[in-house]
Amino acid sequence: MSEPVLALEGLTVTFGSARGTARVVDGVDWAVHPGQTLAVVGESGSGKSMTVLSATGLAPRGAKVTGTVRLLGEELTAMSDADRRRARGRHIGFVYQDPMTSLNPVMTVGRQVSEACEEHLGMSKQEGRKRAVELLGLVGIPSPEERVDNYPHQFSGGMRQRVVIAMALANEPEVLIADEATTALDVTTQAQILELVAGLQERLGTAVVWITHDLGVVAGIADRVVVMYGGRIIEQGKVDDLFADPAHPYTQALLAARPQPGVRADRLLTIAGTPPLPTELPPGCAFWPRCPVRGDARCEHEEPPLVEVAPGHEVRSFYRADPAVTEERSA
Amino acid sequence: MGRFLVRRLAQSAVVLLGVTLVVFLLLQLVPGDPVRVALGTRFEQDTYDALRERAGLDRPLPVQYLSYVGNALTGDLGVSFRSGDPVTGIVLERLPATLTLAFFAVLFALLVSFPLGILSAVKNGSVLDHVARVFSQFGVSVPDFWMGILAIILFTGVLGWLPPSGYTPLGEDPVDWFKHLVLPSVTVGLVTAAILTRFIRSSVLEAMSEDYVRTAEGKGLSPRRVVTRHVLRNALIPVVTVAAVQLASLLGGVIVIEVLFAWPGLGQLTFDAVRARDYPVLQGAVLLVAALFLLTNLLVDLLYAKLDPRISVR
Ligand SMILES: Nc1ncnc2c1ncn2[C@@H]1O[C@H](COP(=O)(O)OP(=O)(O)OP(=O)(O)O)[C@@H](O)[C@H]1O
Ligand SMILES: [Mg+2]
């Protein structure tokens, strides 16, 4: 297999506060390869955003980040702030959740798209503008020559997200990180954006990290899936393996909770309880308090290790759960 | 744009008309006879009648008001009860001194508040931030005339660096002109500077936490570019509005401070006119200050529309 474009090893993010340390991300390892899509799934607060933000030097103030992050083989975590910033701008593109707020309201979309080319590729203003027109066309914005001078408020939500994608692609990045990129959009627009990204990925060979809590999306686009819970990876594997043969009770419950054609919404499973606060993580498995299975006595007091259950398929559990049991007990 | 201007100018005219009416009615409520005050204790009945007639005070009130407005439209604001000189000339003569003071007060306020407010937000929690916060707390809580008195005591009494009060025209002696200008303009500008510093700080802080700033950081722009291109442009839009309101209260401050520093501007003139019951002069001065105020607001609105593309000026 080729070298990974972006690889995380033991990434840990903590916040010190009066009520103790919050471990928001704990020892996360994953990698994306050229042209591949890695999906990161998990409930709200499981640390998905924090993982990618901290990995790329965008952690909020007060975050303590440890671990190793490699971008195109270079150790991002060992670089100076300025070098990391340049590497990020040159090789990574970001697409964020809410296109209504992620664009600067007082700058033309053209300027927002071309800005990164001027900063990192040394383009002049005219070259940047030409590039912006080209990119806006590429992401499917009609009459880009005119739209390039418009402001964000002159676009609809879906069109804005296209602008954000154009912006993310400005420097032909090797990796695109999309954090809930379709969550704020309606279903039709969502499908269009997914199709757009898939098409661009095929043409440009970009690696994609797709963060979502929508497993329905994952099945269609991902090569590999990472499932996070309480800041840790609890299961990861190839998408087909993970969907066909989920090994962790949490993954099994998530899959059973996924809306599917032919299943009535009120028959869907929900996982009782709420995810743990990062300041109050249980001593053992983070999922233990909500776990319908609790298949091993050690789960409550001892953190389970990540073990390989099949080639490339890892689970953080002392045992291998039976999906039928999980479903039956959670219903 | 043209239509916007016309509409705003028409609105301003209506407001000015309102100002004349309010001032006119208020003056009717003040007890005492201005002509009597103007003439002193000993005067001939004939002189009294002549003056009353010349000032038009013998006519019914609505007629008085309408003729005042009619004359004002032609630039005639009546004559002073005290000196008999045309009011228009008297107030226009005082205008440059007030404008100078207001201009330097605003300049001082902007030069202090912008760097201080921005740096204090960008370097949130630093020593500079603490200094800025103490400064704005102090500036907001101490009244300007009190600050003026303290400044006179310190810079004139103790240090002897600056003259306590008075005015030298620029053409006569630029150095002396400036020395006289420093204390009053800093005193007037300080409160505005304090309020603006505080507001700019919070506005910049708020803008820095916006999603589009994270977007800009994601692009790998230098921190400086992120602040100048993305944070400031957004943060300063609300600042413009607050600055406009501050400008209005600064005009109020100018009046008090002109009296304190014996600055020969409209404030001083207003104060003297009140004491002498020189109503035409008082009316003229108030009208001019109101016009200045409306003009500033109009300029601020235009600036606002220029800064924020979401507002269309039509
Ligand atoms: N500045 C901060 N200080 C302390 N804790 C923080 C801070 N920012 C985020 N957190 C915590 O980090 C945890 C992980 O947040 P993160 O945004 O990564 O979750 P997420 O998985 O992306 O969730 P969502 O699906 O809602 O986006 C949350 O529990 C959150 O409370
Ligand atoms: Mg998130």
pLDDT tens, B90-126? 999 999 999 889 899 999 999 999 999 999 999 988 9
Ligand 1 mean position to A195 CA, how many Å?
28
pLDDT in tens, A150-171: 999 999 999 999 999 999 999 9
Q: Which CATH architecture has domain A6-244?
A: 3-Layer(aba) Sandwich (3.40)
Q: How far is the CA of A87 from the centre of ligand 1 (A)?
A: 24
pLDDT digits (tens, 9 = 90+) for B223-267: 999 999 999 999 999 898 888 888 877 887 888 889 888 899 999
A60 touching B (Cβ < 8 Å):
no
DSSP, res A308: E
> Residue A265: which pLDDT band, with cuts at 50, 70 and 90?
low
The domain locations on chain A are 6-244
Residue B209: closest C-alpha in chain A: A60
What pLDDT score does B225 carry? 94
Contact: B310, A105; criterion CB under 8 Å: yes
Average pLDDT over residues A141-157: 95
Q: How far is CA A30 from CA A67, A174, A233, B39, B290, in A?
A: 12, 16, 9, 95, 67
Of the candidates B210, B307, B308, the beta carbon closest to that of A101 is on B210
Residue B312 confidence (pLDDT) = 67
Total tally of structural domains belonging to chain B:
1
pLDDT at A81: 93
Res. B34: pLDDT tops 90: no
CB pairs under 8 A between A and B: 77
A268 confidence band (pLDDT: 50, 70, 90): low
- C-alpha–C-alpha distance, residues B59 and B37, integer Å: 19
Find the A278 Cα to ligand 1 centroid distance in Å.
9
**What residues contact residue A231 under an 8 Å CB cut-off, 6+ apart?**
A13, A23, A24, A25, A26, A28, A46, A47, A50, A278, A281, A286
Would you call B105 helix, strand, or coil by DSSP? helix
Give the residue-averaged pLDDT of A66-85: 95
pLDDT tens-digit series, residues B68-83: 888 888 888 888 888 8
Tell me which H or E stretch contains B46: helix B45-54
Arithmetic mean of pLDDT over chain A:
91
- Amino acid (one-letter) located at B100: T
* A56 contact residues in B (CB cutoff 8 A): 218
Q: Cβ separation of B217 and A98 shorter than 8 Å? A: no
A107 contact B CB<8A: yes
Summarize the confidence of residues B4-23 as an average pLDDT. 87
pLDDT band at B207 (very low <50, low <70, confident <90, very high): very high
Pairwise CA distance, residues A125 & A119, whole Å: 11
CA A47 to chain centre: 10
- Would residue B237 count as lying in a domain? yes
Is residue B291, in this structure, part of any structural domain at all? no
Pocket test for ligand 1, best of A12, A48, A58, A101 (most atoms within 8 A of CB): A48
Most confidently modeled range among A119-133, A183-197, B282-296: A119-133
Owning domain of residue B190: 95-267
Kind of pairing between the strands at A207-212 and A175-179: parallel
Specify the pLDDT at position B12: 87
Cα separation, A174 vs A4, in Å, equals 10
Q: Is residue B81 part of a domain?
A: no
Helix (H) or strand (E) holding A316: strand A313-316
Ligand at shortest distance from the CA of A277: 1
Determine the atom of ligand 1 nearest the C-alpha atom of A211: 22
Tell me the nearest-neighbour CA distance from A250 into chain B, angstroms: 31
Q: Are strands A92-95 and A175-179 parallel, antiparallel or unpaired?
A: parallel
Q: What is the pLDDT of residue B28?
A: 80
**pLDDT at A6 (0 to 100):** 97
How confident is the model at residue A264, as a pLDDT? 63
Find chain A residues with C-beta within 8 A of B217's C-beta.
Answer: 58, 85
> Chain-wide mean pLDDT for chain B?
86
Within a domain: B115: yes
* Neighboring chain A residues of B312 at a CB cutoff of 8 Å: none
How far, in Å, CA of A19 to CA of A14, rounded? 13
DSSP at A107 = S
Question: Coil, helix or strand for A22?
Answer: strand
Residue B251 in domain: yes
Q: What is the CATH number of the domain that holds B193?
A: 1.10.3720.10
Question: In the structure encoding, which two tokens stand for residue A161, read together?
Answer: 């997200």
Q: Which atom of ligand 1 lies nearest, measured to the CA of A25?
A: 14
Q: Which of A104-108, A288-292, B251-255, B257-261 has the highest mean pLDDT?
A: A104-108
Which of B213, B217, B219, B308 to probe by mutation at the A interface, max A CB count within 10 Å? B219
Q: Could you tell me the pLDDT band of residue A47, with boundaries at 50, 70 and 90?
A: very high
Nearest to B30 by CA among B276, B291, B287: B276
Q: What is the pLDDT of residues A224-237, one digit of tens each?
A: 999 999 999 999 99
- The phi and psi torsions of A226 (rounded to 5 degrees) equal -115, 125
Q: What is the rounded CA–CA span in Å between residue A167 and residue A139?
A: 10
